[in-house]
Amino acid sequence: MHRDNWTDRQYMLAGAPYEIHHYVDEVPPHVNFHEHPFYELFFFIDGNVQYTIEGKTYHLQPGDILLTNRLDIHRPEILPGRPYERIVIWLADNFFEQIKFGEDDLSQVFRDAAFRDYRLLRIGRARAERLENLCQKCIDAIHSRRIGGYTLGTACIMELFVRICRYYYEDTEIVPEDVMENEKINTLLRYINENITEDLLYQYIMKKRLTISRDLLLGGSNVTQACFDCGFNDYSNYLKAFKREFGCNPSAYVRSQDLQQAHWSKP
């Protein structure tokens, strides 16, 4: 059974349409609030974890699944006492377009979870075991180095998300006893989203602004337009903040994303 060593990397490897990692940590890692320019499925296996996404804190049980999209700021709080085990799947923004057949849109589950402002999917032990086995089959295939390994892994990912969508739309029950909302935080988030272009200066706002600017750039906006449309008043400060958040300047970031998409789109 392959397991990965956890790192604090929050970006996908260049050219990868998806990544899947199985982590087990005896010592709880510290994870800051962050977001990704891609989809994430978090499959919780064991541990003592509270996971905060956009103002809601989910008290996780083994087998729980969290669905976060490219705009969700989130972080887990891992408490000591039990090994922290999970499977994390990252999917490039255009992944679902590349595997789309007919009218099926498997990415819709992420948008619906965000629209409902409820990212938890609790599916029961039998279904969770089925999905864990499927994840492990995918990981084994990718790391087997046998011909067709990555193709088989991709097929497993596709089956996994078909099942995820079916479970989600067959049973979308909200579990209020395991979800904690902080009304002060929710009020703050509503204020932030309604006043994102105003002169607000702290970490959460900065991440939101940079996330919005990143999506504007990927949608075709030029750098100057993205800077001012997401609320920055100083172009130089925007460039510095963008590079600090994403590791390169806006133009280089867009080029890197274009190269990844071109790589993935090759026949």
Q: So where are the chain's domains?
A: 18-180, 189-265
Q: Measured between alpha carbons, how far is residue 91 from residues 76, 102, 203, 254 in Å?
A: 19, 20, 26, 18
Q: Which two tokens stand for residue 77?
A: 């709080």
CATH fit for domain 189-265, picks 1.10.150.20, 2.102.10.10, 1.10.10.60, 2.40.30.30: 1.10.10.60
Q: Using DSSP bridges, classify how beta strands 56-59 and 74-78 pair: parallel, antiparallel or unpaired.
A: unpaired
Q: Where are the beta strands (DSSP E) in the chain?
A: 18-25, 39-46, 49-53, 56-59, 65-68, 74-78, 84-91, 120-121, 179-181
CA pair distance 222, 254, nearest whole angstrom: 10
Prediction pTM value: 0.72
- CATH superfamily for 18-180 is Regulatory protein AraC (2.60.120.280)
**How does DSSP classify residue 34?**
B
Neighbour-count burial of 161, counting CB atoms closer than 10 A to its CB (0-12 exposed, 13-18 middle, 19+ buried): buried
Asked if 68 contacts 42 with a C-beta cutoff of 8 angstroms, the reply is: yes
Residues with Cβ within 8 Å of residue 71, at least 6 apart in sequence: 35, 114, 211, 215
Strand order in the sheet with 39-46: 18-25, 84-91, 39-46, 65-68, 120-121
Residues with Cβ within 8 Å of residue 176, at least 6 apart in sequence: none
Q: Which two tokens stand for residue 156?
A: 């497993």
Residue type for position 155: A
Residue type for position 62: P
Per-residue confidence of the chain (267 residues) as pLDDT tens digits?
688 898 888 888 878 899 999 999 999 998 888 888 899 999 999 999 999 898 889 999 999 999 998 878 888 999 999 999 999 999 998 898 887 777 888 999 999 999 888 999 999 999 999 999 999 999 999 999 889 988 999 999 999 999 999 999 987 666 666 777 666 566 666 666 676 666 557 677 788 888 888 888 988 889 988 898 888 888 888 998 999 888 899 998 888 887 666 555 555
Q: What is the largest CA-CA distance in the chain?
A: 55
